[in-house]
């Protein structure tokens, strides 16, 4: 570590604004902290290339939370730093500098530390000791609680989480589609994030009501089917019809517990059982997809990947900022030893080795996985076509039974009996002299009974009009189907709310008199979407619009954990 004032070191001049500096790669890469908290731009020199990301990679906060930056920001930072190193090619020193503001400093240091782990294979403890020399201890990362919270994680937790996630191949920056992350991370595109590759996808709770805070459940079907999501777990109350997923072949499970609370042991055990026996990926949601969702997925990570509670929370927040809120962190810390013990027993029972932890073939947001899946789909379709072709090859005309008398199928026989119902059935050998069938199963009277039953069941769900009684104005088939879909969707409204007295939301904010934690977080997401797109005007009386830069956080009272 260098304490820089106005002097030259290592044979080249540093900017006089730099107060602390530490060497990452000898004579090549450095991390520096300026004297002042306000942002400044340092000019390049003949020997030094400066760069800063404080105004480029920004954390979108909910309340007092300010980091860590998400995995897309980490990927962009690594790409930028690699480009800088390749650009100078040893002719200059590369210096990543940040201000002395505690929040900017810890976010910048976290990015540099993760780069050192991913690309330079440093140990997290060595990384932490090196970065600690640039101004002393770092500020603790806070959760997304509305008020002051003493539940925090530190930069070392994030470094350890990235190191373990890298060893399990949770991510691979050589095969990472940051465009997909940025696209689906937005509220208008689904607000969903992969947490464990091809295992857990967290997303905001869908709803049948037209609202700027959420999307209908059928919006997610295409992405789920394309990404092998075969199970959906709902942790909040019923705001949509689950048949939207089940009709598409996706299992749906209810594990409700109140917003902002911790799950019961029965819910935890049931969730772990569902996750361990799931045939493909699992999509989990609560109201905002942050607190309850992150808590249960975090418990799975602690059990099966032997992360600490703080490391699991750090990884969840790197993938989906704001995950695990308030007492849910304390709950994970409390059950951490029990989950480790359960995970050890599980691995011994299934693998015969307690150290055998899953290693994934593809990381989250892999570019290669969709290509390989498409190849597999083409191969399966080709095999199906070949199988059908082989089954249709035998020529029945040359078979020994080709000259036999053609037999009337049972279906045709029943239809013929239905037409001759009430007449003598002399043409059939299985009838008695009075025209009754000897085999009761072939009684023609059962067919109209079945048909009547089907018509009666269909009539309950659809309005059929007698052709002989309706007017010349024929109804359009599409309008009938649309009305039927509306009737089905109306059933999935909140059971405890009178729908006749509830006005339908038209892409605007509606004041909720009984807002829960998830409602407030969703309102912040919606306000953020409005501020970014400038398409919808906010309604007076709702939550204040959260800012997406550090100036907003600096103007608020700061608490030291």
Catalytic center residues: 286
For residue 164, give both structure tokens. Answer: 């373990």
Q: Which residues does 287 contact at the CB level (< 8 Å), separation at least 6?
A: 204, 205, 236, 259, 516, 517, 518, 519, 521, 522
Distance from C-alpha of 249 to C-alpha of 216, rounded to nearest angstrom: 17
Distance from C-alpha of 485 to C-alpha of 188, rounded to nearest angstrom: 23
142 within 8 A of 152, measured Cβ to Cβ: yes
Distance from C-alpha of 519 to C-alpha of 527, rounded to nearest angstrom: 12
For residue 320, give both structure tokens. Answer: 């989906």
> How far from 415 is each of 404, 409, 442, CA to CA, in Å?
23, 10, 11
Distance from C-alpha of 126 to C-alpha of 24, rounded to nearest angstrom: 11
Question: In 10 A of CB 277, how many CB atoms?
Answer: 8
- Ordered alpha helix ranges (H), 48-101: 71-88
19 within 8 A of 84, measured Cβ to Cβ: no
189 within 8 A of 180, measured Cβ to Cβ: no
């Amino acid at each position: 570590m260098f304490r820089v004032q106005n002097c030259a070191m290592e044979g080249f001049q540093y900017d006089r604004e730099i107060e602390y500096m530490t060497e990452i790669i000898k004579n090549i890469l450095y991390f520096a902290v300026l004297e002042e908290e306000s942002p400044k731009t340092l000019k390049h020199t003949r020997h030094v290339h400066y760069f800063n990301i404080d105004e480029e990679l920004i954390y979108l906060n909910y309340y007092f939370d300010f980091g860590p930056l998400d995995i897309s920001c980490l990927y962009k930072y690594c790409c930028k730093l690699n480009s800088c190193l390749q650009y100078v090619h040893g002719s200059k020193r590369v210096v990543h500098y940040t201000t002395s503001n505690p929040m900017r400093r810890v976010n910048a240091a976290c990015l540099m530390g993760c780069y050192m782990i991913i690309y330079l294979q440093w140990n997290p403890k060595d990384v932490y000791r090196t970065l600690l020399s640039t101004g002393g201890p770092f500020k603790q990362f806070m959760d997304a609680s509305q008020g002051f919270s003493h539940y925090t994680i530190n930069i070392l937790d994030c470094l350890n989480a990235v190191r373990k996630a890298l060893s399990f191949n949770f991510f691979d920056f050589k095969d990472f589609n940051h465009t997909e992350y940025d696209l689906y991370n937005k509220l208008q595109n689904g607000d969903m994030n992969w947490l464990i590759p091809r295992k857990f996808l967290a997303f905001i709770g869908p709803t049948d009501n037209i609202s700027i805070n959420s999307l209908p459940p059928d919006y997610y079907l295409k992405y789920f089917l394309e990404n092998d999501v075969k199970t959906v777990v709902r942790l909040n109350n019923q705001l949509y019809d689950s048949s939207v997923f089940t009709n598409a072949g996706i299992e749906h499970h209810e594990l409700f517990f109140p917003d902002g609370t911790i799950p019961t042991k029965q819910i935890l055990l049931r969730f772990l059982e569902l996750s361990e026996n799931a045939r493909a990926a699992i999509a989990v949601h609560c109201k905002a997809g942050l607190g309850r969702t992150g808590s249960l997925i975090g418990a799975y990570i602690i059990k099966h990947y032997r992360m600490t509670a703080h490391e699991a929370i750090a990884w969840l927040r790197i993938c989906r900022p704001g995950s695990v809120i308030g007492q849910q962190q304390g709950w994970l810390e409390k059950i951490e030893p029990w989950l480790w013990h359960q995970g050890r027993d599980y691995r011994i029972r299934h693998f015969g080795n307690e150290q055998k932890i899953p290693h994934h073939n593809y990381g989250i947001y892999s570019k290669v996985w969709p290509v390989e899946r498409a190849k597999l789909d083409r191969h399966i379709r080709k095999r199906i076509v070949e199988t059908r072709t082989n089954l249709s090859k035998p020529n029945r005309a040359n078979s020994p039974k080709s000259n036999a008398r053609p037999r009337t199928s049972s279906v045709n026989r029943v239809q013929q009996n239905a037409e001759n119902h009430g007449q003598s059935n002399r043409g059939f050998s299985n009838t008695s002299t009075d025209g009754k069938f000897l085999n009761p199963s072939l009684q023609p009277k059962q067919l109209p009974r079945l048909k009547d039953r089907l018509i009666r069941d269909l009539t309950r769900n659809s309005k059929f009009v007698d052709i002989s009684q309706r007017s010349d104005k024929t109804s359009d088939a599409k309008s009938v189907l649309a009305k039927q879909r509306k009737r089905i969707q109306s059933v999935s409204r909140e059971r405890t709310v009178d729908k006749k007295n509830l006005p339908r939301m038209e892409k605007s904010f509606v004041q909720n008199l009984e807002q829960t934690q998830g409602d407030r977080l969703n309102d912040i997401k919606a306000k953020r979407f409005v501020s970014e797109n400038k398409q919808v005007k906010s309604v007076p009386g709702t939550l204040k619009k959260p800012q997406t830069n550090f100036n907003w956080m600096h103007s608020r009272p700061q608490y030291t954990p």
